[in-house]
Structure 1
Amino acid sequence: MQGTILVIDGISTNRIMLKVQLTAACYGVEQADCVADVLEAARHCRPDLVLTAMTLPDGTAADVKDALRQDELLADVPVIAITQSNAPERRLNALSAGIDDVLPQPVDDVILQARIRSLLRARSANEELHMQRDASHGFVLPLSDRAGHEEAKGATVALVAQDPKTAQAWAKQLEDYVPYELRCHDLDDIKLMMSAPVADVFVIELNEISAGPGLRLLADLRARAATRQSVVIAVPNPADPMISAEALDRGAHDVLQAGFDVDELALRLTTQLQYKSRNDRLRDSVRNGLRAAVQDPMTGLYNRRYAKPFLDRTAKRAAETGDSFALMLADLDHFKQINDEYGHPAGDAVLVEAARRLQAQMRPVDLVARVGGEEFMIVLPGADEISAGIAAVELCNAINSEPFQVPGVNTPIQVTISIGAVIGRDPNCGNEPGACRGQDRGTTSVSELISNADRALYDAKNAGRNQVTLSKNTTAAA
């Protein structure tokens, strides 16, 4: 089954006809005949979508939406209303009440199925965002509806039509209805549309001539990284159910099925921007949660949870290409004395500054991570003994060349660092770069490399600190 749909109608023949349509499309169908039964039926079947008559024996589609809002798990279930009267006022009232779409009777099966697919895709994407947020332990303080409304006020809307005059006419009508920045484009303005910052919403006209190029532009916008999170609203002009269905299946978030109507477009813009604002906050929460899981909160460096898989990938890549890489373990010297003499806040400030200085020496492909109290792991892909030795000495110099200025401490603190380094390379290969390229022979185990780097670090400490020791007792003084 593709999902479960709850059909609500006081007329049994209507329910039966809809059930036949939906069952043929492989949806599971549950039924109810009045508003009073909606909540119980929905809690029983947990529908993915609700399809309801606009008028019911004991209420309306808006009452159905209100009933679903009583249960937090059902509040976001999309609702489509079917009406015998497609009067604009009733349509707008239903949309204002939170109904996702209103379809006139007799229901066009093509547009119904396309609308269902579109709403189910959006619901599935929203649920995935919630699961990712929960799995990443993300946490963000919920913003009020007012905050979301304030965010939407700064939105940018791109009006795209075949004839620029059409876009300008739409903008002229819209400017009295919405507080958004309105931009006008023709279908060929793709470079301008992609100019940063891209619009939050694209409204695309699809007329008899522009339907093909407009649909291709719609799909293009949904595929590009820069515009993937932008809202796309299609406007068949004049109304055409086949074009509407095609636009929804190509990824449009919304469609004005009856053609351009300034009141309906203004309402749908506001609704879609509120959805976008909520989803953007969810994505930020997911990113923050993932970042928190792999990032040291004090220094901003990656932590051990990220460093070990990075090292594993570097070793695997080196084994496949025959290249070498360097692994270093670095430890600030006499760090306990800094904490004891100046206090832990001063010690934290030293760690933050040390992390900044180390990071400043890294190439984009390199990694420096905080893996312990005052211990750092450094991975240099592609490095050999010579380049690793030079890099390690530069890291030492970055720490010891200038005393640390710590807030609250009158005297600058002199800090040094010791580094143990090891080169990762397949022992069966020679010293020439790429000697085992493409043979996938495997390299010295990562655990062994870490142990060797750790022993080299202790050798540097035992040799007097403030220096680098390469594995196999090759030492370079800092």
Structure 2
Amino acid sequence: MSARILVVDDQEPNVRLLEARLKAEYFEVVTATNGSDALVAAKSQQPDIVLLDIMMPGMDGFEVCRRLKADTATRHIPVVMVTALDQREDRVSGLECGADDFLTKPVDDLTLFARVRSLLRLKVVLDELRTRDSATPDAGDLVDADPKAKPWALIVAGDERAGAHLQSKLPACTQSKVVTDPALAARVAVSGVDILLIDLTSPKFDGLRLCARVRSEAATRHVPIIAVVSPDEVERSVRALDLGVSDIIHRPVDAQELNARIRTQLRRKTYADRLRARLDESLEMAITDPLTGLHNRRYIASRLNQAVDAAANGGATVSVLIADLDHFKRINDTFGHEGGDAILKQFSDRLRGGLRALDLAARYGGEEFVIVMPETGLEEARAGAERLRAATANNPFSLPRGEAAKEVTVSIGVAEFAQGDSPDTLLRRADKALYRAKAEGRNRVIAGDAQTKAA
């Protein structure tokens, strides 16, 4: 996976060394030797990752990181502190100012590239979500999780004592559960947790296998995982990152550092969850009629195409209903558009209530509705249409001002797929049957004749 990486260090030899190592792995490299230049380069070049030294004259790395995370144009770029400092306070300070990780010089190549690959995978996902959510840029803020929320943490350790020790390091606001059986842990994770803390140092279970299983399940694919490893277990750390672990913390686990890493992961999860929710909402809006909540014309057309294609290739038959509320202009003239909208909504509710799980209904336009009934012959479809007609005619509609509209009826045309039908010809036959129902007095169901379909 190629990417553009910004290397920031005031020592020219360090810059050149990192640049050479990254280019050997086919990364594009941008460099800066001070904080001010780094901020300019990050904004103009939009790197995928920033490798940032801390000890620099003028503006140190902590301040550079804070400014990057405060700017809407750069706050989504992962930052890795690369420094000779190795004190707990330095790691915590780096994480609290927004850094995604903290690597100590001299940096091991395996560790560096594993962390870079891990952060790149994350950034690709978030960038895709941000791109799809570009119409609502205000959703792009990385914010702390709701302070009133109590996130659930699942701790997976080799025994209760080790689990309780890790549990004691968690933030006070966190709800947590210790599990020593990896199979049980996988089931608990699927039921809903906010973060996983997995002890990879335990010889009693294969923590890497559990990490892989959690990442393979759709329900837990995006749950942050923090892995506990020993400092000398470089290969295990690299393997964990390549399997999709979100972050690594070394033994002995420092509570303040763990809390900072958990906050980072929960903040990122909150942001990603919000983007996914907005994306789901926008996708739903794209296929939904805003007034009635039914599917819209575009969506029902695509599903009808699928059903007709399946039937034409030897699959189950399909029937189509077209329903039109009778004298709807008169309804609007009598009760106003507010009353007309109320009737459309209630009719849609009755329509939904009478459908089977496999049926699909859409508002086709105005007061006209289309229902696609897969695996349904003409007589069964006609019976379903008659139930809808009766539910409309026999039950008054409530109006916004407390009145009741007692004479609302619907006419319905029904047609079943016949060999040679296209979606358009099937709809035309149902529409022709609807016109007959209107012409013959309305408030009735007419089934179209497959033998008289349009050529």
| TM-score, normalised relative to structure 2 | 0.93
Aligned mates of 2:423, 2:295 — CA distance in 1:
18
Summarize the Cα distance change of 1:246–1:187 in structure 2 as closer, same or farther, 3 Å threshold.
farther
Residue 150 of structure 1 is matched in structure 2 by 147
Contact 2:169 2:258 in 1 (8 A): no
Aligned mates of 1:138, 1:10 — CA distance in 2:
38
Deviation at 1:71, TM superposition (A): 4.5
Deviation at 1:465, TM superposition (A): 0.7
SS in 1 for 2:169: helix
Deviation at 1:286, TM superposition (A): 0.5
Contact 1:234 1:252 in 2 (8 A): yes
Q: Deviations over 1:235-264 (max 9, x none)?
A: 114652211111111011111145522211
Summarize the Cα distance change of 1:376–1:334 in structure 2 as closer, same or farther, 3 Å threshold.
same
SS in 2 for 1:299: coil
Residue 204 of structure 1 is matched in structure 2 by 198
Q: Which runs of 5+ in 1 are unaligned?
A: 428-443
- 1:98 maps to a residue whose letter is G
Residue 169 of structure 1 is matched in structure 2 by 165
Contact 2:186 2:210 in 1 (8 A): no
1:93 corresponds to 2:89: no
Aligned mates of 1:188, 1:44 — CA distance in 2:
46
SS in 1 for 2:168: helix
Q: Deviations over 1:96-136 (max 9, x none)?
A: 111111111110111110100111111111110011223xx
Q: Deviations over 1:23-79 (max 9, x none)?
A: 111111121111121123234432111112121132321122234346532222111
Aligned mates of 1:139, 1:235 — CA distance in 2:
36
Q: Out of 141, 153, 160, which is 2:156 matched to?
A: 160
Q: For 1:422-433, what aligned pairs fall within 5 Å after superposition?
A: 422-427=415-420
Summarize the Cα distance change of 1:49–1:191 in structure 2 as closer, same or farther, 3 Å threshold.
closer
Deviation at 1:277, TM superposition (A): 0.8
| Greater CA drift, 67-76 or 87-96 | 67-76
Aligned mates of 2:243, 2:252 — CA distance in 1:
18
Contact 2:287 2:298 in 1 (8 A): yes
Residue 17 of structure 1 is matched in structure 2 by 17
Q: Which runs of 5+ in 2 are unaligned?
A: none
Aligned mates of 2:128, 2:137 — CA distance in 1:
16
Contact 1:133 1:282 in 2 (8 A): yes
Summarize the Cα distance change of 1:104–1:143 in structure 2 as closer, same or farther, 3 Å threshold.
closer
1:405 corresponds to 2:398: yes
1:291 corresponds to 2:288: no
Deviation at 1:457, TM superposition (A): 0.8
Aligned mates of 1:259, 1:128 — CA distance in 2:
37
Contact 2:396 2:404 in 1 (8 A): no
Deviation at 1:388, TM superposition (A): 1.4
| Greater CA drift, 380-389 or 411-420 | 411-420
- 1:337 maps to a residue whose letter is R
Aligned mates of 2:314, 2:230 — CA distance in 1:
57
SS in 1 for 2:319: strand
Residue 3 of structure 2 is matched in structure 1 by 3
Contact 1:139 1:285 in 2 (8 A): no
Residue 298 of structure 2 is matched in structure 1 by 305
Aligned mates of 1:139, 1:407 — CA distance in 2:
37
Contact 2:139 2:275 in 1 (8 A): no
Q: Out of 334, 345, 348, which is 1:355 matched to?
A: 348
Deviation at 1:351, TM superposition (A): 0.8
Q: Out of 445, 448, 470, which is 2:447 matched to?
A: 470
Aligned mates of 2:39, 2:104 — CA distance in 1:
25
Residue 436 of structure 2 is matched in structure 1 by 459
Aligned mates of 1:204, 1:53 — CA distance in 2:
30
Q: What count of residue pairs does the alignment treat as equivalent?
A: 451
Deviation at 1:191, TM superposition (A): 6.1
Residue 31 of structure 2 is matched in structure 1 by 31
Summarize the Cα distance change of 1:108–1:222 in structure 2 as closer, same or farther, 3 Å threshold.
same
Q: Out of 301, 326, 329, which is 1:336 matched to?
A: 329
Deviation at 1:195, TM superposition (A): 6.8
Aligned mates of 2:138, 2:317 — CA distance in 1:
42
SS in 1 for 2:220: coil
Residue 448 of structure 1 is matched in structure 2 by 425
Contact 1:237 1:260 in 2 (8 A): no
SS in 2 for 1:270: helix
Q: Deviations over 1:145-204 (max 9, x none)?
A: 46x3326x3210111111122111221333xx3301111111335267437741110100
Aligned mates of 2:167, 2:23 — CA distance in 1:
42
Contact 2:411 2:434 in 1 (8 A): yes
Contact 2:142 2:271 in 1 (8 A): no
SS in 2 for 1:13: helix
Deviation at 1:359, TM superposition (A): 0.8
CA-atom RMSD, angstroms?
2.2
Contact 1:138 1:286 in 2 (8 A): no
Deviation at 1:85, TM superposition (A): 2.3
Summarize the Cα distance change of 1:304–1:228 in structure 2 as closer, same or farther, 3 Å threshold.
same
Contact 1:139 1:289 in 2 (8 A): no
Q: Out of 357, 370, 394, which is 2:363 matched to?
A: 370
Contact 1:201 1:231 in 2 (8 A): yes
Contact 2:198 2:227 in 1 (8 A): yes
Aligned mates of 2:408, 2:311 — CA distance in 1:
34
Aligned mates of 2:9, 2:253 — CA distance in 1:
30
Summarize the Cα distance change of 1:48–1:303 in structure 2 as closer, same or farther, 3 Å threshold.
same
